[in-house]
Amino acid sequence: MTIGQTIKLHRKEKSLTQSELAELIGVSTQAVSKWETDAGMPDISQIVPLARVLDISTDKILGHTDETFEKEVNTIRSKVGGINFISDLNYAEEMYALSSKFFNKHPDVPDIAVVALESYITLFAKGRITVAKTDFLVECERYGNSIFRYETVSDRIYKTHFLMSRAYDLCGENKRAESYLQNLPYVFGFRDYWEAEIAFADNKNDIALQKVKKSFAQLARFTSRCIRLAGRIVRANGGDDADRTSLELDEYMLRLINAFLSGGDYLPHRQIFQKTCLLPGLVSQNIKVGNIDKAKEHMAELLKTREEFFECMSNPADKHCLMFIEGDQDGSWNTSKEKIDERIANAQKMLKQFL
């Protein structure tokens, strides 16, 4: 297969047009067309960007691959368990033996470099590899630099930031560990979550559990804020379907809250409080769009929720959330029985007008 044929094949596998590939590489569409018809050749400076965009090795672009390369890379990839972390030490030893040997010959295949980096760190952390900390970090940087240079898949890039953070944390270099964690966006997990992963990997289970609970609480609050803001935006925009769409968002919020409350004896104070705030609005919203039966259903749920919340207020030590940490995330909120009764009375008054 010619260089042009290789470029064309992998461009199509990536679902890229010639113009899209050209823009990513920084050349003209005509240049890509010439490459693919073998009327021209990429400049040597364009080989690495091409390999990165097409997610293949530079050897493959240049036609230097052989059956041995394909067999080795496919063997490693067939054994990799997705983006999940390695925990089995025998598996880590097997993967490091395969991936490090491959990396030394082909340092421009980033997904294999990720396997080498992770298995190397895992074995060092568990004492299966004994080297000086400085030598350990140099080797980690060798893998990391290759990944950051050639990788295009965001999950693997973010995983590498986490792995490098863990490597420096193992060596007591907290500032460097912190600098790598700073590169993890919240969409990939709250900061406390990744600190929990590091603590758990180092057998600091009490710290790990505290941090993962805190991360869970942050995620729950963040999710509810997103839904609430979406409803406000819909109402501000107006339109014929604004009331119904806003209602659907609040119904969605209620389903999420009920999911949090489905842990048996675990009744998180915050979630029950949120229900006492949300349900009166659902009663009035359903009345507004003509869903009287649904409004009655929510009224009954509100009355039941009030009793559960009053029980939590009377005996706060007996009821807590399975995942939320204790204290300010699941403690007493600025409310009273009188305020809640007032909300319920207003909802009942509105509903009686239609019964």
CATH value at residue 48:
1.10.260.40
Same domain, 156 and 272: no
200 found inside a domain: no
| Same domain for 10 and 53 | yes
Residue 30 shares a structural domain with residue 153: no
- Domain annotation covers residue 155: yes
In this predicted structure, the answer to whether residue 268 has a pLDDT above a threshold of 70 is no
pTM (predicted TM-score) = 0.57
312 assigned to some structural domain: yes
Do residues 58 and 94 share a domain? no
Do residues 314 and 243 share a domain? yes
Q: Is the pLDDT of residue 327 over 60?
A: no
Q: What is the pLDDT of residues 31-72, one digit of tens each?
A: 999 888 888 888 888 888 888 888 887 777 777 666 778 888
Q: Which residues on neighbouring strands pair with residue 266, listed in sequence order?
A: 263
Q: What is the pLDDT of residue 266?
A: 52
Whether 199 is in a domain gets the answer no
- Specify whether 56 is located in the same domain as 84: no
Most confident by average pLDDT, 134-138, 243-247, 270-274 = 134-138
For the chain, the domain total comes to: 3
- Better pLDDT: 166 or 317: 166
Asked if residue 111 belongs to a domain, the reply is yes
- Are 54 and 74 members of one domain? no
Does 83 have pLDDT greater than 90? no
In a domain, 326, yes or no: yes
Query: What is the rounded CA–CA span in Å between residue 25 and residue 32?
Result: 9
**Contact in structure between 102 and 68 (CB atoms under 8 Å):** no
Q: In this model, does residue 309 exceed pLDDT 70? A: yes
CATH number at residue 182: 1.25.40
6 has a pLDDT exceeding 80: yes
- As given in the structure block, the two tokens for residue 6 are 């290789």
Are 72 and 166 contained in the same domain? yes
User: Is residue 24 domain-shared with residue 85, that is, in the same domain?
Assistant: no
Q: Name the CA radius of gyration of the chain, rounded.
A: 28
If asked whether residues 317 and 265 sit together in one domain, one would say yes
Compute CA distances 21 → 47, 56, 57, 68, 248, whole Å.
13, 14, 16, 29, 42
- Helical packing angle, 205-237 and 191-201, nearest 10°: 160
Range of the structural domain that residue 239 is part of: 211-352
Q: How many CB atoms lie within 10 A of CB 205?
A: 11
Are 29 and 20 a contacting pair, CB within 8 Å? no
d(CA 83, CA 14) in angstroms, rounded, equals: 20
Boundary residue ending a domain (62, 82, 108): 62
> Of the given ranges (80-89, 102-111, 152-161, 265-274), which has the lowest mean pLDDT?
265-274
Distance CA 14, CA 278 (A): 46
**pLDDT tens digits along 213-241:** 888 777 777 888 888 889 889 988 888 88
Q: Is the pLDDT of residue 299 over 90?
A: yes
pLDDT, one tens digit per residue, over 168-179 is 999 999 999 999
Of the residues 46, 62, 78, which one is the last residue of a structural domain? 62
Share of the chain above pLDDT 70, in %: 88
| Residue 329: predicted pLDDT | 47
The answer to whether residues 44 and 169 belong to one domain is no
Cα 344 from Cα 352, distance rounded (Å): 12
CA distance to 9, 29, 265, per residue, from 55 (Å): 12, 20, 50
> 252 and 296 in one domain?
yes
| Residue predicted with more confidence, 192 or 315 | 192
Say if CB 124 and CB 131 are below 8 A apart: yes
In a domain, 217, yes or no: yes
Domain boundary, last residue among 62, 90, 109 = 62
8 A C-beta contact, residue 25 and residue 49: yes
